[in-house]
Structure 1
Amino acid sequence: MADHVHLAYDYPLLGAFWTVMWIFLWIMWLMLLFRIITDIFRDRRLNGWAKAGWLLLILVLPFLGVLVYLIARGRQMGEREIHHVQEQQKAFDAYVRQAAAGSAGGVEQLATLTDLKNRGEISEEEFRRAKEKILG
C-alpha cells in the first residue's frame, strides 16, 4: 500500500490551471499542425518534391518546420483558404442552380399534365403513369 493517498482536493488550483493551459496549448498545436499539412497538400503551385520536402521538415523538426513554414508561406495560407472557400461556394451555387432548373421543368410538366387531365384529354391512369415517370 502507498504511504500517501492523493485525493482530488490535494491538487492545487494553480496546478489545475497549468494542466488546463497545457492541454489547450497542445490542442492549438495540433490544429496548427493539421492546418499547415492541409495547406501543403491544397497548394497547386507546389510540385510533389516541394510538398514532400515541407512535409518531411514539419514531421522531422516540427517546431522549426512550422515556424519556417509560417514565416515563408504564412501570408499566402489565408489567400489559399479564401480561394478554396470561394471555389466551394461556386460549386454549391452551380449545384443549386442545376437542381432548381431540373425541378422547375418537372413542375411545369406536372402543371401541363394536370391541365390535360382536367380538360379530359387524358385518363386518370395515363395521368398517374406520366406523373410517376416525371417524379420517378
Structure 2
Amino acid sequence: MSSVWDVLWIIIVSFCFVAYLMLMFYLLTDLFRDRSTSGWIKAVWVICLIFFPLITGLVYLIFRGSGMAERTLEAQKQARSEADAYIRQTAGTNSTTQIADGKKLLDAGAITEAEFQQIKAKALA
C-alpha cells in the first residue's frame, strides 16, 4: 500500500517530466523557426539536446532567450495576419454587392424599404 509521500513524489516527478517535455518541444520549435541559423548548427543543437538535455536547454535559454521572444512574436503576427486575410476573404463581401443584393430583394418584394435602408447603412458603415 502506498503512502501519502509516495503519491506526492509521483505527482512531483510527473510534473517535472511534463515540464521537461514542454521545454524541449518549445526549444525545438524555436530552433527550427529560426531562419538565420544554418542547418549544421541546428543539427548540433539537436544532438546536444538529445545527449545533454538539461545543460543544453539552459545554455540555449541563456544565449538565445531574447531571440526566442522575437521569433515567437513574429510567428504570432504572421499567423494573425493570415487568419485576418482568410476571414476577410471568406466572410467579406464588398459593400456594393451587399447593396445590390438588398436592392434585388427590395425589387422582388422580399424586404421593405426600411429594411433596405438598414442593409445599405450597414454596408456603408
Is the shorter-chain TM-score for this pair beyond 0.5, marking a shared fold? yes
The residue number in structure 2 matching 1:84 is 75
Do residues 20 (structure 1) and 14 (structure 2) align?
no
The percentage of aligned residue pairs carrying the same residue is 31
Q: Secondary structure at the match of 1:11?
A: coil
Do residues 46 (structure 1) and 37 (structure 2) align?
yes
Unaligned runs of 5+ in 1: 1-9, 119-136
Unaligned runs of 5+ in 2: 110-125
Code of the residue aligned with 1:39 in structure 2: it is D
Q: Distance in 1 between matches of 2:94 and 2:12?
A: 53
Code of the residue aligned with 1:31 in structure 2: it is M
The residue number in structure 1 matching 2:52 is 61
- Counterpart selection for 1:110 from 98, 101, 105: 101
Choose 1 or 2 for highest CA Rg.
Answer: 1
Q: Secondary structure at the match of 1:45?
A: coil
Code of the residue aligned with 2:39 in structure 1: it is G
Code of the residue aligned with 1:70 in structure 2: it is L
Q: Secondary structure at the match of 2:92?
A: helix
Over the residues paired in the alignment, what is the CA RMSD in angstroms? 2.0
Q: Distance in 2 between matches of 1:116 and 1:48?
A: 64
Do residues 70 (structure 1) and 85 (structure 2) align?
no
Q: In terms of mean alpha carbon deviation, does 23-32 or 101-110 score higher?
A: 101-110
TM-score (ref. length: structure 2): 0.74
The residue number in structure 2 matching 1:97 is 88
RCO greater where, 1 or 2, for CA within 8 Å and sep 6 or more? 2
Paired positions, count: 109
